[in-house]
Amino acid sequence: MLGGVVQQWTAAQAVSGAGLDAAEVWQCYRGVGGALDEVEVNGYLAGLLMISTVQRDLVADAINEILESRDLPVDGAHYSTGEVAAGSGFADYLRPLVTTPDRYRFDRPPVTGVHVAGIDAPAGWADGNEGRQAEAELRRCHALYASGLLETGREERFDRITAYARMRFEVSSASISLITEDRQIIKSVTGPIGQDLPRELSLCAITIEKDRTLIIPNAGTDPVFRDHPLVAGGPRARFYAGHPVSTADGWRIGSLCLIDDRPRTFTADDELDLKRLAAQVQIAMWLDPGA
């Protein structure tokens, strides 16, 4: 079965390569039985929202139907399983995917579009879709505010998770952060590193851009992060690992993260354990939101 983030990536790549407008994808998606509204589909294509397997397959169906109707020589959007692809009638639009440990790619370089929210977003987004992207971000923020988590301060149920995470991974600090429209708000922190920050300074704000674990073994030598204010100054962070946490309907509202003031290795088992702890955070949010 194809992972959700890879399937999402192929959908965005297909839309980008064909120069499709997100609104026409949504209209076709509704025509094939899709249940989500336009904002949710745009949020999915922009990497702000993960949707169910059934709805991902319907988005792929809509994209591939448009490609076929226009006879466009563009790689199609992939389906969750080979059986679904075979039943769709669009299997000829798909080509094998090659996965590597650190990224996903086709077996030849894909056409890329405008970079939005951590993945390649549909071409033309920056020319006419700013409003749709902003509405998707508004919906994400609404999901955060509706959760009530910003109103309850620190809670023991979350402090137990960060305390265990700090001990399990032997790091300086472990924290749960919530990302508003302009701030990182710390919901729980165990250790000396972790504070409310402007969103543009938050590593956790980068984490929520994709449904994956962000791992920075040594930020001091990382060309992307070495000049970041939290690395070059302040707590002089060196190691970071964070995994997004989402609302029950899929909006990524924050992350569970680990920070250390020295470089660290992070194994596949470590990543799996961090994902499991992030799932515990989500379960606490979903099953007992008022606790």
pLDDT, tens digit, 9 for 90 and up, residues 107-121: 333 333 333 333 334
C-alpha dihedral sign at 35, 39, 44, 45: positive
DSSP per residue, 44-104? HHTTSB---HHHHHHHHHHHHHHHHHHT---PPPP-SSHHHHHHHT-GGG---EEEETTEE
pLDDT digits (tens, 9 = 90+) for 197-225: 999 999 999 999 888 899 999 999 999 99
Q: Are 206 and 214 in contact (CB under 8 A)?
A: yes
Question: Using CA atoms, how far apart are residues 122 and 43, in angstroms rounded to an integer?
Answer: 11
Give me the residue label for tokens 């993945």.
119
Nearest to 126 by CA among 112, 139, 113: 113
pLDDT digits (tens, 9 = 90+) for 54-64: 999 999 999 99
> 0.75 cut: is pTM over it?
no
**Angle at CA of residue 50, ends 44 and 54, nearest 5°:** 90
Q: Which of 97-101, 180-184, 232-236 has the lowest mean pLDDT?
A: 97-101
Contacts 24+ apart (CB under 8 A), 269-275: 270/169, 270/241, 271/213, 271/215, 271/241, 273/168, 273/169, 274/165, 274/169, 274/213, 274/241, 274/243, 275/213, 275/243
